[in-house]
Amino acid sequence: MNIVTISRQVGSYGDVIAAVVARRMGLELITREKIHEVAQSCDPEYSDACSVYETEHGPGFFERIFFDRPTYTSLFEALTYEQAAKGNVVIMGRGAQIVLRDVPGVFRVRIVAPFEQRVERIMERYAFSNKQAQDFVKKYDHERDTLMRSIFLSDPDSWTLYDLIVNTAHYTSGAASDLVIHAAERLEKVPDSESLIEDLRGRALAKRIETLVRKKMTSVVTRSVEVNAAPGGVIKLSGLIRDKRDKDSIAKLAAGYPGVARVENEIKVTELSFGF
């Protein structure tokens, strides 16, 4: 089984490379259309966040995100785990390389190119002037970078997030695809694919519940609470909270979520105030 994440700069050939890699390796490419379907399944209260997950940009969104960032982080993680749990997929962008960084068997790629070359490619693709192309590249670079830093508090340019970084300055999209495929096929494989899929589904379930808890009780109250899943629909709650009633409410929300068989509530109650 193969799970490939491809992070790309606009104008770096990343989208083309992702499509070629998926086709030649027989993997499902998680396209914009499929992400749209996922976004439509989101809670209406989080339509803005799901739209950002779909498009990777959103004017005005980042100015509001600070006050509820933990909730958005949990939501984005849930959506990514759900895509990865399909198995044999190529996931483009959306912080998948960050969310899946500790998942064994995931091959994480970054496609880059010099700014000037990316501008030239955008000029050719969209018949833009040089100024229009520069503005386009700067805008998308800024919004994708802001998305990663705002949601995941992570630098998308950090080499530690990737197994392979390809600079397409002197590579055609076909040659760069050859490099990615060659490296992906030689990545150490996970011996038990079924267990990996079950783990990813469990992570997705846990993050869905975490999103619900943070939405219903606010991320200020629950920012120190973590939700994890174990086989058989077992949900484990941990962390710190100030009020026992809130602890019980979180357990009730988790127990009522579809697919949950049992809740193990290990949240500690403390009178300490967090972040103030």
* Segment 147-173, tens digit of pLDDT: 888 888 889 889 999 999 999 999 999
**pLDDT attached to residue 275:** 47
Residue 192 lies in a domain: no
Q: In the sheet that 28-30 helps form, which strands lie side by side, from edge to edge?
A: 28-30, 89-92, 3-8, 106-112, 164-167
Q: Interhelix angle for 69-84 vs 130-152, to 10°?
A: 100
Give the CATH number of the domain where residue 115 resides.
Answer: 3.40.50.300
Greatest distance between any 2 Cα atoms in the chain: 61
pLDDT at 276: 42
Whether 275 is covered by a domain: the verdict is no
Q: Is the pLDDT of residue 54 over 80?
A: no
Q: Are both 176 and 207 inside the same structural domain? A: no
Pick the last residue of a domain from 185, 218, 252: 185
219: domain CATH number is: 3.30.1340.30
Class of residue 265 by CB neighbours under 10 A (exposed 0-12, middle 13-18, buried 19+): middle
- Do the domain assignments include residue 152? yes
**Is residue 271 a contact partner of residue 262, using CB atoms and an 8 Å limit?**
no
| 191 within some domain | no
Q: Are residues 92 and 148 in the same domain?
A: yes
Q: In terms of pLDDT, which residue wins out, 64 or 73? A: 73
pLDDT above 90 as % of the chain: 64
Host domain of residue 208: 197-269
Under a CB-based contact definition with an 8 Å cutoff, are residues 45 and 215 in contact?
A: yes
Greatest mean pLDDT among 54-58, 97-101, 188-192, 241-245 lies in 97-101
Of residues 179 and 223, more confidently modeled: 179
Question: pLDDT digits over 216-274, tens only?
Answer: 887 677 888 999 999 989 999 999 988 889 999 999 999 999 999 999 999 999 865 44
pLDDT for 45 beyond 90? no
- 229 neighbors 236 (Cβ within 8 angstroms): yes
How many domains does the chain divide into?
2
Mean pLDDT, the chain, whole residue set: 87
